[in-house]
Chain A
Amino acid sequence: MEEMLKTLLLERSVREFYRRYHAQLDQQMLTQWPDFFTEDASYLVTNRANFEEDMLVYNVFCEGKKMLIDRALGLQKAVWFRDRLQRRFAGSIEITHQSEHALDVVSSFMVTESRQGEPSSLLLTSESQDSLSIAPDGTLQFSKRLCIIDAEVLPDSIIYPI
């Protein structure tokens, strides 16, 4: 009984972690985005075709929180793009492996985008293969987030993090 309760609580905190992650990105809170990651975390975005062929080049390749902060600041200060609203929809979130201080989580999600008030369109559907670290107080952070986008041809730029 106690085990089951622990599992339920863990699952709940993982779902809550992803909900907060998506919600903050929907609100375009770029400055806070790196805080979801550990100091030596990696954040990788690729597509299924590159992933299956073990290609080295990613759409986004960040190793370490510093690169994430650089990207977040770069997007805010050095990149020009048209205003847009995004919404992230999480599908399944499954804990595939767990130990005392770490979790592996596979999730699926989609992102829609509305540019300058135009009707929303589908930007991407993706799987993520993530590793989360569990701090002593139970706080979760990504130690790795790997997003594998389904489409080989992206309909547009992927500007904000996913």
Chain B
Amino acid sequence: MSEFYGWPDAGARRLPQHIYADKDNFQRELDAIFFADSWNYVALSCEVPEPGDYILSSVGNVGVIVSRDRKGTIRVFVNRCTHRGARLCEKRKGNNKLFTCPYHEWRFNLEGRLVGVPLSQGVKGKGGMSPQFDPQNHGLKQLNVCERHGVVFASFSNDMVPLETYLGPKILRYFDRVCDGRPLKVIGKHKHVVAGNWKLQIENVKDTVHAAILHSFFTLFGIWRSDQETEIVVEDKGMHSVLASTATFSKQQTHSEEADSEFSLLDPSLIAHEAEFSHATGAVMTIWPNLIFLQQLNCLVMRHVEPVSHDKCVKTWTFFAYEDEDPALTARRVKQANLLGASGLVTIDDNEILASCQVGLQQQSQFECAIEYGEGSSDCDHMVSESAIRGFYNYYRQVMEL
């Protein structure tokens, strides 16, 4: 189907529906994006503090084990026994000396080497592994790993540029703005399905325009308004971007007094913000391909968008804090988390509208999205532009050869 439709002449100003609706296109994305030259967020290193600690994550739609070996190095393995393909780890996290497959108890050490095969010598001199079998060739599939300031990325490619180069200086500045090397701690996780293509979720947070329209909650309390000071930063190739904005905490001026009195918080502590970072009260960063690194008021979140199928993704929200911070600050983060996730007073809007978009985009009628807010695909000093989305698709077309 992709070949049939091709890409519209208007470039990234038009998005053909098949990139959301076509199963073959989804498979191509896995190969060309997730299993190719990309650094994929997998975990925070504080989630596996000790040797033997592991946590399950994913790269593309492939389940991986993020674990720390005996020397303290973080390793990422495909969560699949090399014998028959069973999942090695079923529990979402734990501590192991060895990874043992439940099927035939093949054992892998923390470096991923196959170190134990039951009945390899057979029984009473009969049977066992064939002489050609060399355990060295049957270690766990291991990914390339990098870590910056406690954030762990993995890649199926062994030919990757360093993360710092991958991000580029403009994005790195925002990355380090929150993850500056201070030890982190996880304070909770949300995980939920969004009934939409993974790119809809990524585009959604590159789209400054909707934030002040769809999210009435933001607008009502002046957290994200279309007239507030805003910076859109797009990495030169378009891969990553940041939307940074400064809340005024004043209600939309166009609202009449009547409208204002309609809804005001009885308990304003829900959005009581303590300034932590320079310039901007919120910075929403997307790192190619599928990480949303979110700082909104005092909420710090790694939002990992797992592409499940062409019409479905799973969002894992890892809420984090600094290890030695004031408990009062942590309490703010916990309260403000009410705005986010599967029950978030702001995020519900997105979860719902993305599902609605997916339904529309699957109706086969050679439809194209019109990405016409603003010009170009680079940096911007206002909110009414879809330049970060166009940047994303410039790069997408390149790697997908579309």
Residues of A within 8 A of B (CB): 45, 49-50, 55-64, 66-67, 69-71, 73-75, 77-82, 152-159
Contact = CB atoms under 8 A, between A and B. Distances in A.
B188 A57 contact: yes
B184 to A, nearest CB: 14
Interface of B: 92, 186-193, 195, 214, 216-217, 220, 262-263, 265-267, 270, 314, 319, 330, 333-335, 337-338, 341-343, 345, 347-349, 351-353, 355-356
A59 to B, nearest CB: 5
A50 B216 contact: no
Contacts of A75: 345
A58 B337 contact: yes
A155 B352 contact: no
Contacts of A73: 263
A68 B217 CA distance: 15
A81 B348 contact: yes
A74 B263 contact: yes
A157 B351 contact: yes
Contacts of B188: 50, 55-58
Given A70-B266, A74-B263, 15 more contacts: A49-B92, A50-B188, A55-B189, A58-B334, A63-B335, A79-B217, A79-B349, A80-B348, A154-B191, A154-B192, A157-B192, A157-B343, A157-B348, A158-B343, A159-B343
Contacts of B220: 77-78
Contacts of A45: 343
A154 B193 CA distance: 6
A40 B267 CA distance: 12
B227 to A, nearest CB: 19
B337 A78 contact: no
Contacts, number: 109
Nearest to A124: B342
Nearest to B268: A70
B342 A156 contact: yes
Contact of A82 (B214, B267, B341, B356): B356
Contacts of B337: 57-58, 61
5 contacts: A56-B330, A78-B345, A156-B193, A156-B342, A157-B342
A79 B195 CA distance: 18
Given A153-B314, A154-B193, A71 B338 contact: yes
Contacts of B335: 61, 63
A154 B342 contact: yes
A59 B333 CA distance: 13
A124 B152 CA distance: 32
A59 B341 contact: yes
B342 A152 contact: no
Contacts of A59: 190, 341-343
B109 to A, nearest CB: 27
B92 A158 contact: no
Given A60-B343, A61-B337, A78-B216, A155 B192 contact: yes
Nearest to B216: A78
Nearest to B218: A78
Contacts of A153: 191-193, 314
B349 A80 contact: yes
Contacts of A56: 187-188, 330, 334
A84 to B, nearest CB: 10
Nearest to A45: B343
Contacts of A79: 216-217, 345, 348-349
Contacts of B189: 49-50, 55, 57
A101 B305 CA distance: 47
A147 B191 CA distance: 16
Contacts of B267: 64, 66-67, 70
A82 B342 contact: no
A61 B334 contact: yes
B293 to A, nearest CB: 17
B266 A66 contact: yes
Given A49-B189, A69-B266, A81 B319 contact: no
A113 B197 CA distance: 22
Contacts of A154: 190-193, 342
A14 B35 CA distance: 55
A56 B352 CA distance: 26
Nearest to B335: A61
A81 B190 contact: no
Contacts of A159: 343, 348
A74 B221 CA distance: 11
Contact of A57 (B187, B314, B356): B187
Contact of A156 (B195, B216, B266, B330): B195
